Structure 1
């Protein structure tokens, strides 16, 4: 267990440099140094994954916590993550495992899948930290999970090159991508990343697997309604049925701005509904925004407002107009 694992997607350069081709940073890494993610290291002109088979957290959640609202609602999912990240968001909610090295436990793919099967769980989620930067471990686990009949979920910032993503996609069933803003200056200044790469990931995934999007609405940084409207409009052009989760910001890591105003969240929600069929609010107590409605006739299809969850779909279709609901149920 935890043998040294050579990384995928790199090339050797002159003077013992290595160019990593996993994500759009394309880090050029000197000998005995790591890339920006902290977990891919040049050791004598070979690139190694430092977080292979190393787990920072492993727990059982409802799939709605990913968040996924249109993918087997109320099913349990075995979620795990490692450490490291290829972004450095100043508002990171998981900075203890993205920007620092936490306490880690050793698990291999077989052990994780055995835990899921023994608990009668058939969904796995690669989450908590950025799964792109534990790519080798994620791919190996997802391949074995697929062979065992389990489904795989990636919860990601979307900053990954097309080639590794295309090799991973055959073993993915769903993803939630964090679309942090619709402004490249925001991505560069607040996250050390770029918007266009994330947009490419979204456009590739939506054609292949079930996809949902999360946007954290942050006070004074990305809460401009005109900019949010551009995000909603672009997402609708990709596919207006993609579920969008608008999440309220609270102070975290190095950003101490006030929590996003509830009124701003309501306005963003109403604006998003003009463009998209399925919009949800997160980190708020507005339960009425948690239920799912038919995008054709408006009938309530999944009721998340009651004490007891209720799925009113009939063979994945609206019981009134028979319109099929986007997702897997």
Structure 2
């Protein structure tokens, strides 16, 4: 049963319609209908959030699963998700919750914070589906989490408007944002969105918090040398070469039936990224050094990873134990 909570960031229009201003879709929604995300509904000229305090299975996850490799490596974090998404990616790896109607149960913000504390979690991760369209719950919970001395992590597609993002940012401590491609046509055809707002959101996150970027490599769609090079150059030029980048192998999970990404493709993408980026990681497939963190200055091993077995081997805070250089990592 949904807990109706009036939505933030919308305007009432003539004829009983409303315009949602949470994300760049700017959905104009008729009475009785929902927006693209399916979680914001017009009831009698008022926009409501349908997924407020509704969560899919809460769990304690390794922070590396988000993936966040530079945010307290080896820690475990309470992970919460809900249903819905403001994208329609035909390659979605979590479509059961983002595009389906996964079972949810009630968890109020204060209870979420208490659950994190009871489990010894350093914070809360808003993940599995898109936290933007869970805005009211995420904002309230993240405020309470900070009051309790906990951290907040977003795993997001970056499709959020500047004003709500600015309101949320003071309570966000770490972000993993997808940049699915640098190409406008990819976003339009595969996700139902635009690339521009995604890139601008990433720049705003980078200015305010620890940001890591994920790119899912899909054979035949965004895996060419030009695709990877252009994405690398944009990240290096706009987010900085110290931004951790995760390139993940694709496996068919939803409507798109592209072939799984091969090891050679991932190794080539890794090599291209490493030409300019200091921290590059390979996900969903095993490569020689694709999971480990090395000092950007001297190359010494900082964090050794084997699956979710994590060993911090060369860090003194955020400094390399070997050479003393600062690295872009919270530890």
Tell me which residue corresponds to 2:277: 276
Tell me which residue corresponds to 1:297: 298
Tell me which residue corresponds to 1:318: 320
- Give ranges in structure 2 of 5+ residues lacking alignment: none
Q: Is the 8 A contact 2:74 2:310 kept in 1?
A: no
Distance in 2 between residues matched to 1:182 and 1:300, nearest whole Å = 31
Distance in 1 between residues matched to 2:198 and 2:75, nearest whole Å = 28
Q: Is the 8 A contact 1:246 1:279 kept in 2?
A: yes
> Which region of structure 1 is more displaced relative to structure 2, 111-120 or 164-173?
111-120
Residue 75 of structure 1: how far off its partner (Å): 0.7
Task: Check 1:38–1:2 CA distance in 2 against 1; reply closer, same or farther (3 A cut).
Answer: closer
Tell me which residue corresponds to 2:26: 26
Q: Is the 8 A contact 1:51 1:134 kept in 2?
A: yes
Distance in 2 between residues matched to 1:327 and 1:314, nearest whole Å = 11
Distance in 2 between residues matched to 1:287 and 1:11, nearest whole Å = 52
Q: CA RMSD in A?
A: 1.3
Distance in 1 between residues matched to 2:243 and 2:310, nearest whole Å = 25
Residue 57 of structure 1: how far off its partner (Å): 2.3
Tell me which residue corresponds to 1:285: 286
Residue 305 of structure 1: how far off its partner (Å): 4.7
Tell me which residue corresponds to 1:204: 204
Tell me which residue corresponds to 1:9: 9
Q: Is the 8 A contact 1:299 1:320 kept in 2?
A: yes
Q: TM-score, normalised by structure 1?
A: 0.97
Q: Is the 8 A contact 1:287 1:305 kept in 2?
A: no
Residue 320 of structure 1: how far off its partner (Å): 2.6
Tell me which residue corresponds to 1:187: 187
Residue 315 of structure 1: how far off its partner (Å): 3.0
Q: Is the 8 A contact 1:214 1:246 kept in 2?
A: yes
> Which region of structure 1 is more displaced relative to structure 2, 200-209 or 280-289?
280-289
Secondary structure of 2:212's aligned partner: strand
> Which region of structure 1 is more displaced relative to structure 2, 297-306 or 159-168?
297-306
Tell me which residue corresponds to 1:252: 253
Tell me which residue corresponds to 2:140: 140
Distance in 1 between residues matched to 2:211 and 2:328, nearest whole Å = 10
Count of aligned positions: 329
Residue 3 of structure 1: how far off its partner (Å): 3.9
Instruction: List aligned pairs for 1:99-118, cutoff 5 A.
Output: 99-118=99-118
Residue 321 of structure 1: how far off its partner (Å): 2.3
Q: Is the 8 A contact 1:5 1:50 kept in 2?
A: yes
Task: Check 1:171–1:308 CA distance in 2 against 1; reply closer, same or farther (3 A cut).
Answer: closer
Residue 256 of structure 1: how far off its partner (Å): 1.4
Q: Is the 8 A contact 1:57 1:128 kept in 2?
A: no
Q: Is the 8 A contact 2:301 2:313 kept in 1?
A: no
Distance in 1 between residues matched to 2:178 and 2:32, nearest whole Å = 32
CA-to-partner distance for each residue in 1:82-102, whole Å, 9 max, x for gaps? Answer: 101000000111111111212
Distance in 1 between residues matched to 2:127 and 2:317, nearest whole Å = 30
Tell me which residue corresponds to 1:56: 56
- Give ranges in structure 1 of 5+ residues lacking alignment: none
Residue 311 of structure 1: how far off its partner (Å): 2.9
